[in-house]
A and B are shown apart, each in its own frame.
Chain A
Amino acid sequence: MTDTEVDPRVGTDTALHLEGVRKTYQVGDDEVVALDRADLTVGSDEIVALVGPSGSGKTTLCSIAGGILAPTEGAVVVGGEDISDYSSKQLTEFRREAVGFVFQTVNLVPFLTARENLLVVDEIGPRTGRKARARADQLLEELDLTARAGNLPGQLSGGEKQRVAIGRALMNEPDLVLFDEPTSSLDSEMGDQVVKLIREEMKSRGTAAIIVTHDDRITHYADRVVKILDGRVDDRNGDDRDHPDRDDG
């Protein structure tokens, strides 16, 4: 039962719009609520830091926003595309074309060079060949990886690997990039560099980003910090966790 109507104002200046999004899992006879009536709107060039303790539902929210999981109920609009009722096949295509991901762990294809890892995005979809190669080279240059283009992930430092992952996330010119704890495996100096780079890349392109993190340094680079606790989103600046039952439809 979908009791939400997509706000007609949601348009091209909005990268992500979640409305009344609920995600539950059946564990035995119990229903576990991972995300409870979450509302969140991210502007088209906004960088949002999503913070909360583990198990709070931030991974679930990130997965739903990126089309990896389908919501149990509620509306999900990414870059003007309503994906709430997409089949898993449609979601696969959506992910390939409209969003970018940077994951925390196992990330790059270990037997492909940095440049080839970027081109994987082209390889798995309808090929564009030369255009994709030009874009990969341009991204590698922007990310200061040109000299490392021919190296395998095993020959790259942690920061370089994460830069390659950022390049891969940008290959399909996404409306929204989702970062899942991008600095958790980096030391503080390297982490700082990567976050700065994320901000530069997002802002120069006008691409929206959601960064899931524990890391306080990241929140400084974000336009806005959204807290999540027990599956409830608090989409207001400030620490007003006392009013979790926001129901301002």
Chain B
Amino acid sequence: MKLALRELRRRPNRFAVATVVLSLIALLLMFLGGLLDGLTAGSTGALRAQQADLIVYSATSDESLERSRLTPEIRAGVESVAGEDAVGGLGTVQLGARLDGRDARDLVPVVLIGYETAPRGLPDEVPGEGEVYADESLRAEGVEEGTTVQLGPARTEVEVIGFLDDSRYSGQGTLWGSLDTWRETVAENRPGEQAGEGVVQALVVQAGDADPAALATEIDEATDGATSTVTVQGAIDALPGVDQQQQVFNQIIGVTVLIAIVVVALFFALITVERTALYGVLKAVGASSLYLFAGVLLQALVVTLLAATVGIAASLAVDALLPAGGIPFVVQPARLIGSVGYLLLAAVIGCALSLRRVLRVDPASAIGG
């Protein structure tokens, strides 16, 4: 294998074009992945932040928070199965937020979420009336601790008392307050959607030691089919657009991997053709086809790893340079490792197409001029 590595080291120019092209493909792959992860994170954060196993919607809501309403009677049914302490109410409303010092029309879209069971990163105690925690992403809009935000046409005022991370919903920043804060804000800004005392949009349920799937069935039975209970992951999957978004991105990522395969295949087929005479000599002096092919494969893997490293560095640079709150791009180690894995797979498959060419080189071609 020294032979293959020496060639890489002593003739780097031969491999430069392939390395550059593969680096660009690596960056594209990682950028697409980061964008997908960013979009997904921005749509699902509020649900992923729930420290619960199940989410209970009304049966007719199609697992949509906006359409779902649960009355105190239904809640009692749920609590009879899951236990009172394990159940918390949830209510959301999407509004335009006005910030001090900004133009009256320069609204920041936010989702106010009323909760009882604290999400990840917040203290168990629910904030007082008119107080909210804000998602970190709202810092980019100038929100700080102590900022007063005016919500909706009624300009309902809430004060930010802290922050939590990765809790966006529908691509918008979130504000987390008590159910009372939520109910009051809805009543002032959306009288038509007003929720009566004790009414919530959904309930989050901690399963504890119970099997979540079994508990979900029990809950739906206890409410006589008035509820539709799903796991948190089930609720995420039911969010409109998230699944389609992932499919589209994964298809583009798939095509990009195909392009990487074609690039590796073409480049190393070319290199193999150029080396036909040399391979003839090496085979004549006793090199096996396997040895020669292993050299090609090794070179492809080294070139690809180099390109992947450039891609990772470029992704991190993009992440650092992009202004927060702009493009929803996040860098996740799992995504980077996965992209490197795809690229290496592309290198192996692309290289395999040169195998036949290496096998076909006849050692007799070395002799007889």
Instruction: Mark A116-155 against chain B: 1 for CB-CB distance below 8 A, else 0.
Output: 1000110111000000000000000000000000000000
Q: Do B367 and A103 have beta carbons less than 8 Å apart?
A: yes
CB within 8 A of B287: which of A59, A97, A116, A124?
A124
- CB-defined contacts of A73 to chain B, threshold 8 Å: none
- Is B105 at the interface (CB under 8 A from chain A)? no
Instruction: Mark A156-185 against chain B: 1 for CB-CB distance below 8 A, else 0.
Output: 000000000000110010000010110010
CB within 8 A of B284: which of A103, A110, A112, A181?
A103
- Is B139 at the interface (CB under 8 A from chain A)? no
- Is B6 at the interface (CB under 8 A from chain A)? yes
A residues near B (Cβ < 8 Å) are: 59, 62-63, 66, 68-69, 89, 92-97, 100-101, 103-107, 109-112, 116, 120-121, 123-125, 168-169, 172, 178, 180-181, 184
Q: B210: shortest Cβ distance to chain A, in Å? A: 62
B residues near A (Cβ < 8 Å) are: 2-3, 6-7, 10-11, 277-278, 280-288, 291, 363-364, 366-369
Q: Do B3 and A121 have beta carbons less than 8 Å apart?
A: no
Q: Do B369 and A63 have beta carbons less than 8 Å apart?
A: no
CB within 8 A of A109: which of B3, B291, B366, B369?
B3
Q: A70: shortest Cβ distance to chain B, in Å? A: 11
Q: Do A106 and B6 have beta carbons less than 8 Å apart?
A: no
Q: Do A106 and B278 have beta carbons less than 8 Å apart?
A: yes
User: A181 with B3: in contact, given A101-B285, A124-B285 (CB under 8 Å)?
Assistant: no
Q: Do B3 and A95 have beta carbons less than 8 Å apart?
A: no
Report the nearest B residue to A64, measured CB to CB. Answer: B364
User: A96 with B285: in contact, given A63-B364, A109-B278 (CB under 8 Å)?
Assistant: yes
Q: Do B367 and A62 have beta carbons less than 8 Å apart?
A: yes
Q: Do A120 and B285 have beta carbons less than 8 Å apart?
A: yes
A-B contact pairs, 20 of them (CB 8 A): A62-B368, A63-B368, A68-B284, A69-B364, A92-B283, A92-B287, A92-B363, A96-B287, A101-B284, A101-B285, A103-B281, A105-B369, A106-B278, A106-B280, A109-B278, A121-B285, A124-B3, A124-B282, A169-B285, A184-B369
Report the nearest A residue to B9, measured CB to CB. Answer: A111
Other contacts beyond A68-B367, A106-B278: 4, CB < 8 A: A95-B363, A101-B285, A101-B367, A109-B278
Report the nearest B residue to A104, measured CB to CB. Answer: B369
Q: Do B278 and A96 have beta carbons less than 8 Å apart?
A: no
Q: A184: shortest Cβ distance to chain B, in Å? A: 7
User: A124 with B367: in contact, given A96-B285, A106-B277 (CB under 8 Å)?
Assistant: no
* Binding site secondary structure of chain A: mixed
Report the Cα distance A112→B288, complex, angstroms: 19
Report the nearest B residue to A127, measured CB to CB. Answer: B2
- CB-defined contacts of B369 to chain A, threshold 8 Å: 104-105, 180-181, 184
Q: Do B6 and A92 have beta carbons less than 8 Å apart?
A: no
- CB-defined contacts of A116 to chain B, threshold 8 Å: 6
User: A68 with B364: in contact, given A106-B277, A112-B6, A180-B369 (CB under 8 Å)?
Assistant: yes
Q: Do A95 and B286 have beta carbons less than 8 Å apart?
A: yes
Report the Cα distance A104→B2, complex, angstroms: 26
Q: Do B367 and A125 have beta carbons less than 8 Å apart?
A: no
Q: Do A124 and B291 have beta carbons less than 8 Å apart?
A: yes
Q: B289: shortest Cβ distance to chain A, in Å? A: 8
Q: Do B6 and A111 have beta carbons less than 8 Å apart?
A: yes
Report the nearest B residue to A69, measured CB to CB. Answer: B364
- CB-defined contacts of A180 to chain B, threshold 8 Å: 367-369
Report the Cα distance A94→B286, complex, angstroms: 7
- CB-defined contacts of A109 to chain B, threshold 8 Å: 3, 278, 282
Q: Do B3 and A59 have beta carbons less than 8 Å apart?
A: no
Report the Cα distance A62→B282, complex, angstroms: 17
Q: Do A111 and B286 have beta carbons less than 8 Å apart?
A: no
- CB-defined contacts of A89 to chain B, threshold 8 Å: 288
Q: Do B11 and A111 have beta carbons less than 8 Å apart?
A: yes
- CB-defined contacts of B11 to chain A, threshold 8 Å: 111
Q: B151: shortest Cβ distance to chain A, in Å? A: 69
- CB-defined contacts of A103 to chain B, threshold 8 Å: 281, 284, 366-367
Report the Cα distance A178→B363, complex, angstroms: 14
Report the nearest A residue to B3, measured CB to CB. Answer: A123
- CB-defined contacts of A94 to chain B, threshold 8 Å: 286
- CB-defined contacts of B277 to chain A, threshold 8 Å: 105-106
Q: Do A125 and B286 have beta carbons less than 8 Å apart?
A: yes
Report the Cα distance A121→B285, complex, angstroms: 7
Q: B57: shortest Cβ distance to chain A, in Å? A: 67
CB within 8 A of A93: which of B2, B280, B281, B286?
B286
- CB-defined contacts of A69 to chain B, threshold 8 Å: 364
User: A59 with B367: in contact, given A109-B278, A111-B11, A120-B3 (CB under 8 Å)?
Assistant: yes
- CB-defined contacts of A104 to chain B, threshold 8 Å: 367-369
Report the Cα distance A89→B287, complex, angstroms: 10
Report the Cα distance A124→B295, complex, angstroms: 11
Report the Cα distance A186→B166, complex, angstroms: 75
Report the Cα distance A50→B277, complex, angstroms: 24
User: A111 with B7: in contact, given A92-B286, A95-B284, A124-B282 (CB under 8 Å)?
Assistant: yes
Q: A140: shortest Cβ distance to chain B, in Å? A: 17
- CB-defined contacts of A110 to chain B, threshold 8 Å: 278
Report the Cα distance A92→B366, complex, angstroms: 14
User: A120 with B368: in contact, given A68-B363, A89-B288, A111-B11 (CB under 8 Å)?
Assistant: no
Q: B13: shortest Cβ distance to chain A, in Å? A: 11
User: A123 with B363: in contact, given A92-B283, A101-B284 (CB under 8 Å)?
Assistant: no
